[in-house]
Copies of this chain bind each other. A is one copy, B any other.
Amino acid sequence: MTTKAPKPETIEKLRHVSVATLCTALFKRGLRHQVVQDVHPVKAKGINMVGPAFTLRYIPAREDRNQLSEFRNPDHPQRKAIETCPPGFVLVMDSRKDARMASAGDILITRLMMRGGAGVVTDGGFRDAMRIGDLGMPAYHHRPASPTNLTNNEAIEINGPIGCGDAPVFPGDIVVGDDDSVIIIPAHLADEIAEEATEMTAYEDFVVEQVQSGETIIGLYPPTDERNLEKFAVWRKANNR
């Protein structure tokens, strides 16, 4: 499968839709497992993380291969991933859903941010999470994990297909995170999903307003009553959506 890079406006659109809405758009296409399960923002930012995936895979650590001296190797895959992740990309780490040891710490994540990274996701945990949460770049993990990754995770492969939180991730897939969750949009679908989710978001914003003013959801969400579509058309124009 060759990955077609999404259109530039797609990234921008994806900043303004929720992961929940993206889930539904993918569900319509039969994709039900694209949410990275049980990861959380290290600190909620109120804005979306968006970018293509650059991946790192961990396997269980064999002790003789995972002494502190390994980090002296400039080609150690964890450090190399940090130094080669392209600007604008999200580093996604398969840490085997094991948060007993860290996937990375604040020094590496700060470096990733300085190099222009758009964010970082692990299905394990970060050490120095208390400092990572304060960085400007969004970061998602399961929970804080202070022990070094050497304790039982060996970084083994850069930018291959991985699983993260039970979601399939291929390099170049578009990663979107909001304050609730992270989702993986297959690269070839990103343009149409962004477009569709933007439309859905307009309608959902209209619905929220209606509900807040006392309307029932029956006939409105979804719009089985035609009159709601008419009201929506008026609302769109009035709100420039």
Interface set of A (CB-CB < 8 Å, partner B): 1, 18-20, 22-24, 27-35, 37-38, 40, 44, 59-65, 68, 71-72, 74, 79, 82-83, 96, 99-100, 102, 105-108, 110-111, 114, 127-130, 143-148, 150-152, 154, 156-157, 160-163, 166-169, 178-181, 183, 186, 204, 207-208, 211-212, 214, 216-219, 221-222, 224
Contacts and interface: CB of A to CB of B under 8 A. Distances in A.
The 4 closest A-B pairs by CB, nearest first: A144-B180, A20-B127, A130-B179, A146-B181
A32 B147 contact: yes
A206 B221 CA distance: 51
A84 to B, nearest CB: 11
Given A114-B214, A129-B180, A40 B143 contact: yes
Given A32-B151, A154-B168, A146 B224 contact: no
Contacts of A218: 74, 79, 83
Given A96-B163, A127-B20, A180-B127, A216 B32 contact: no
Given A20-B105, A146-B19, A163 B60 contact: yes
A238 B12 CA distance: 44
Given A147-B32, A180-B130, A82 B222 contact: no
Contacts of A100: 35, 37
Contact of A162 (B20, B59, B108): B59
Given A60-B168, A219-B74, A212 B114 contact: yes
A111 B210 CA distance: 10
Given A32-B63, A111-B211, A148 B37 contact: no
A62 B212 contact: no
